[in-house]
Chains A and B, each alone.
Chain A
Amino acid sequence: MNEIVNKLTNNTDLIRLANGAVSQLFALSDEDLATFQFEMIKRSYAYHFENNAFYRDLAVCADLTPDALLTEADLAKIPLIPVSAYKGQDSHRLLSVGLTEVEHEMRSTGTSGVPSVARRCTTTVDGGVQSVYGMYREFLGISKGAGLYLCPSTEEIPEMGMIKALNMLAGLLDTHRFMVRNEQMIPEDAVAQLKEWDTFTRHIIGPPFLIHRFISFLKATNTKLKLDPGSLIITLGGWKRFSGAMISRVEFNQECEEWLGVPTQNVRDIYALVESNIVAIEDEHGVKHVSPTARISVRDQNDLSREMPLGKPGQLAIYDPTNFTVPGFLLTEDIVTQEPKRDGDTRSGQRIKYIMRAPVSTEFGCCAVNLEKKMDAQDA
């Protein structure tokens, strides 16, 4: 028996196992989960050091060979790859596998129009699918019902990370429909579709700006809907509009309650990044939990080697050991805080609050912002 366990947990197999065990990892104590994550990160670091000449050079420059990664305090020394590197012409240097082993390319296009392309080999896709579904099951608990997708379909914009991630949810539903076509959404059709689905628990899924736009239509036409007990409003994408104005989360929640009949605890926002396999999903208290297969670190923007204390904003760094295609050690352009554990919260792991895109970022916005900009141009 021990031999089987040893074989299953040998080297990077430990990471493969962890991807399918989201709920079990959340049930560990905080200390045990942190130890487990450190072990995964250590193995991932050794894997990329061995298989990626470009990253090995970075590691040597940082004076951190895998055998020098001894304690959790050493994690801050791991060289981070800025997300901007995914947009570059020389992004092939990031690969730890040959291009012929890459199964999937996923994109995120911001308003500058330069796509960020994240490549995944089969093992990385396997892990991403397992952990994302694990997170959906853990926090959304969806296994049936109807999904009104207020976004374009994957058919219309294949490879787009935001849509791909939301589309994965559709496999858990009984039926769904994408309501944006040719960059246009007809809200009357969305209302009619919701009314037609009278034998399903109805969920509304999409980027915040489109759901906000739908609610604005309901307000303008004084149409109050009452979705079902268990209906969820699931959002993914930025809360800043292309105009620069923020959508107020508090107002959004109130409007979901008033115009869609969905209580605040059923409005769930998701944070995800195309370059990473991790997601962070809100629980019923509006607290975003980070995938337990990865670790985040909030860095001082003025000194990136310094970690910020809980509750203090800084630049998000991610250690994602589930990425076998490129080193999953990322420096994002997002400003976040790491949040403390709420009393009574039984899950271990880290909690995150998104604040804004870093002011130094060369890119303002995300796929959703880009989509909104195009839709507004069409409406004009």
Chain B
Amino acid sequence: MFSARIAENFTSPTHGGELADPQIVLENKDPVCGDQIRISIAVDDGSITQARFRAWGCATSLATANILCVWMEGKQLADCVAATPEELAEQLGTLTPEQRHCHEIAVNLVAQLQPESVA
């Protein structure tokens, strides 16, 4: 049911937590199952320097939150904004049909990123 990638990111999350003074906060909730992810992001000179998550829900959604934070950190904000749903799907790896809502959550979160969202 769970791929090694999801299992690893769920059981050993590296990016859990919340930034004290984030420049960007992304938030999305699946209205059907209640899964919820909030990611706080620090940006410096157009580059994402830190991303931390808080998440509630199934193992795949908690793993998705960690995967997204790892993926974002060190990237240019503009590159994240330009990411396609396919690219995000690749990050999450193979998901079962029951887990695919987590890809939707990831897409919805990344869609909230805008280059001009940093003051």
Q: Does B59 contact A (CB under 8 A)?
A: yes
Report whether A114 and B56 are in contact in the complex, using a CB–CB cutoff of 8 Å: yes
**A89 and B29 contact, Cβ closer than 8 Å, known pairs A95-B11, A99-B6:** no
Extra contacts besides A109-B33, A119-B59 (7): CB < 8 Å? A89-B54, A99-B11, A99-B59, A100-B1, A107-B34, A117-B58, A159-B98
> B59 to chain A: which residues have CB within 8 Å?
92, 99, 102, 105, 117, 119
> A119 to chain B: which residues have CB within 8 Å?
59
Q: Does A8 contact B (CB under 8 A)?
A: no
Bound Cα distance from A87 to B54, whole angstroms? 12
Q: Does B22 contact A (CB under 8 A)?
A: no
Q: Does B83 contact A (CB under 8 A)?
A: no
Bound Cα distance from A100 to B6, whole angstroms? 9
Best-surrounded residue of B4, B16, B32, B36 (most CB of chain A within 10 A): B32
Interface string of B52-64 (1 = CB under 8 A from A): 0011111100100
User: Smallest CB–CB gap between B21 and chain A, Å?
Assistant: 21
Report whether B2 and A89 are in contact in the complex, using a CB–CB cutoff of 8 Å: no
Bound Cα distance from A117 to B1, whole angstroms? 16
Interface string of B13-39 (1 = CB under 8 A from A): 100100000000000010011111000
Bound Cα distance from A98 to B16, whole angstroms? 20
User: Smallest CB–CB gap between A190 and chain B, Å?
Assistant: 24
User: Smallest CB–CB gap between A150 and chain B, Å?
Assistant: 20
Bound Cα distance from A87 to B57, whole angstroms? 7
Report whether A99 and B2 are in contact in the complex, using a CB–CB cutoff of 8 Å: yes
Q: Does A158 contact B (CB under 8 A)?
A: yes
Q: Does B82 contact A (CB under 8 A)?
A: no
The contact sample of 16 A-B pairs, CB cut-off 8 A, is: A89-B16, A89-B55, A89-B62, A92-B10, A99-B2, A100-B1, A105-B59, A107-B58, A109-B33, A109-B34, A114-B56, A115-B56, A117-B57, A117-B58, A119-B59, A159-B98
Q: Does B118 contact A (CB under 8 A)?
A: no
Report whether B4 and A157 are in contact in the complex, using a CB–CB cutoff of 8 Å: no
> B13 to chain A: which residues have CB within 8 Å?
89, 92
Report whether A102 and B34 are in contact in the complex, using a CB–CB cutoff of 8 Å: no
* Contact with A90, one of B2, B7, B16 (Cβ below 8 angstroms): B16
Q: Does A174 contact B (CB under 8 A)?
A: no
Q: Does A103 contact B (CB under 8 A)?
A: yes
Bound Cα distance from A92 to B60, whole angstroms? 11
Bound Cα distance from A98 to B4, whole angstroms? 10
User: Smallest CB–CB gap between B27 and chain A, Å?
Assistant: 13
> A99 to chain B: which residues have CB within 8 Å?
2, 6-7, 10-11, 59
Chain A, interface size: which category?
20 to 34
Bound Cα distance from A53 to B6, whole angstroms? 21
Interface residues of A in 285-329 (CB under 8 A from B): none
> B7 to chain A: which residues have CB within 8 Å?
98-100
> A104 to chain B: which residues have CB within 8 Å?
1
**A103 and B1 contact, Cβ closer than 8 Å, known pairs A115-B33, A117-B59:** yes
Report whether A87 and B98 are in contact in the complex, using a CB–CB cutoff of 8 Å: no
User: Smallest CB–CB gap between B59 and chain A, Å?
Assistant: 6
Bound Cα distance from A104 to B2, whole angstroms? 10
> B11 to chain A: which residues have CB within 8 Å?
92, 95, 98-99
Bound Cα distance from A157 to B56, whole angstroms? 17
Q: Does A82 contact B (CB under 8 A)?
A: no
Bound Cα distance from A100 to B4, whole angstroms? 7
Interface string of B40-62 (1 = CB under 8 A from A): 00000000000000111111001
> A92 to chain B: which residues have CB within 8 Å?
10-11, 13, 59, 62
Bound Cα distance from A102 to B3, whole angstroms? 11
User: Smallest CB–CB gap between B7 and chain A, Å?
Assistant: 4
Report whether A87 and B56 are in contact in the complex, using a CB–CB cutoff of 8 Å: yes
Bound Cα distance from A91 to B36, whole angstroms? 15
Report whether B56 and A89 are in contact in the complex, using a CB–CB cutoff of 8 Å: yes
- Name the residue of chain B whose CB is nearest to the CB of A106: B58
**A100 and B2 contact, Cβ closer than 8 Å, known pairs A114-B36, A115-B57:** yes
> B58 to chain A: which residues have CB within 8 Å?
105, 107, 115, 117, 159
Best-surrounded residue of A90, A95, A117 (most CB of chain B within 10 A): A117
Q: Does A113 contact B (CB under 8 A)?
A: yes
> A91 to chain B: which residues have CB within 8 Å?
62
Bound Cα distance from A179 to B56, whole angstroms? 30
Report whether A115 and B35 are in contact in the complex, using a CB–CB cutoff of 8 Å: yes
